[in-house]
Amino acid sequence: MTTQSSLTRPRVTISEVAKAAGVSKATVSRYIGGDRQLLAEATAQRLEAVIQQLGYRPNQMARGLKRGQTRLIGMLVADILNPYSVAVIHGVETACRQHGYSLVLCNTNRDDEQERHHLQALQSYNVEGLIVNTLGHQPGELLDLHRRLPMVLVDRQLADLQVDLVGLDNTDAVEQALDHLQTQGYRDIIAIGEPLDGTSSRHERVQAFTASVQRRASVRGRVLSLDAHLPQTLEQCLANDDHGPQALLTFNGVATLAVTRALQVAGRGLGDDLGLIAIDELDWCSLVGPGITALAQPTERIGAAAFECLLERLRGSEAQPRRLDFKAQLIVRGSTPLPT
C-alpha cells in the first residue's frame, strides 16, 4: 500500500537540509549550485549524505525567481497530431535535455485563440526562450513577446518579424520533385496542399511550384486546395489529360493522406497511369500500393537546429536573424515509375 494521502509531507527545503547538516543555507546553496570546490571536503560530504537521506530536491521555481532564469524553454506547435510536428518536437526535446533545459509544450490546435492563450501562459512561467510553429494569423502577440524573449520560428515565417527561422528549403524541395517527375516522363503535374491561410511554407511551396513549372516548357502544372470537394475536383483534373502523363505532388503529410484517401475512393491505383510524389516522409509511405515516393524533411535536425539557434540567442548573440534551410531528401518508390 502506497496510496498518496493527505499525510503528504511538504517538500524538504534548503533550510531543513541546512539545519540537519549543521550549516547555513548559503552553504547548502553553494553545494547545489555546483560551487562544490569552494567548500571544505568534509562539509561537501556531509551535505551529500544529508541531501541524499532527506531526498532533497532544490525548488527550481525559487531558484528561477531569484536568479532570473528558469531553464525552461517553451514550444508552441500548431498541430501535435501532425507527424511532422512530433518529429520536430522530438528533436527539440532531445537537444533541450542535453543542455539541461526542460520543455513546456503547447499545442494550439490550429486555433488563434489557443495560440494567444498559450503564449501568455508560457510567458507567465518565465520560459527563457520560445520555439514557435505559429499559425501566423496575428503577429501582434508574437511581435510583442519577441521584444522580451529570444525566439525562433519553425517552418513558418512571420511577416514583419525579424527572427531566426529554421525549416525546409522549399524551393529546392519543389525543384527536386519536379526534376524527378519530369525525368520520369510526367508532363502534367497537379500540386495539392492545404488551403493557403498565410502559412509561409505553404505559400513558398506554391510559389516555387508555379515558378518552376513556368521554367519548364514541356510541363503543365496546376495547384489544388484541400477541401471537401477534393475527390471531385481531382477527378475532373485527371480527366483533362491531354498534356501527357499525369502526376500528383502533395505539399505535406496532411495533403498526402487526403489525396491517398481520395484516390482510393476513386478507385485509382498509384503508379500505373498516375504518379505521386509527396513532401514529408510518413511511416506508411512504403506500404501503400507500390510505395509513395517522398521528399523527407530532416525533422530531427530541424528540431535540434531550432534549439541550438535559440541557445545562441540565450547566450546573448545579437547577430542578424538567420534563416536555416534544410534540404529535403528524395526517396524514390513505386508511385513514380516511368509511365508506360
Nearer to a second copy, 211 or 287 (CB): 287
Binding site partner of 218, from a second copy, DNA, none, Cβ cut-off 5-8 A by kind? none
The full DSSP string for 176-207 is: HHHHHHHHTT--EEEEEESPPSS-HHHHHHHH
Strand partners, 294: 278, 331
| By the rule CB under 8 A, 94 interacts with a second copy | yes
Query: Which of DNA, a second copy, none has residue 38 at its interface (CB below 5 to 8 Å by kind)?
Result: DNA
Contact 226, 206 (CB under 8 A): no
DSSP for 155-179?
S---TT---EEEEE-HHHHHHHHHH
CA distance 255 to 278: 8
User: If binding means CB under 8 A, how many residues of this protein chain bind a second copy?
Assistant: 76
Q: How far is the CB of 119 from DNA (least distance, A)?
A: 17
- Please tell me the distance from the alpha carbon of residue 278 to that of residue 292, in angstroms, as a whole number: 7
Q: Which of residues 61-90 bind a second copy (CB under 8 A)?
A: 61-62, 64-65, 68, 70, 72, 80-81, 83, 86-87, 89-90
Q: Interface mask (CB under 7 A) for DNA, residues 10-29, using x and -?
A: xx-xxx------xxxxxxxx
- CB of 216 vs a second copy, minimal distance in Å: 31
Q: Which helix (H) or strand (E) holds 5?
A: none
Q: Which is nearer to DNA, 113 or 144 (CB)?
A: 144
Interface segment toward a second copy; rule CB under 8 A; list 44-52, 100-108, 184-192, 242-250: 100-108
d(CA 47, CA 85): 43
From residue 59 to residue 78, the character string flagging contacts with DNA as x (rule: CB under 7 A) and all else as - is x--xx-xxx-----------
Using CA atoms, how far residue 197 sits from 177, 228, 272, in Å, is 23, 16, 34
> Is there binding between residue 33 and DNA (CB under 7 A)?
yes
Selected from 30, 46, 146, 187, the binder of a second copy by CB under 8 A is 146
Q: Which of 41, 42, 52, 124 binds a second copy (CB under 8 A)?
A: 124
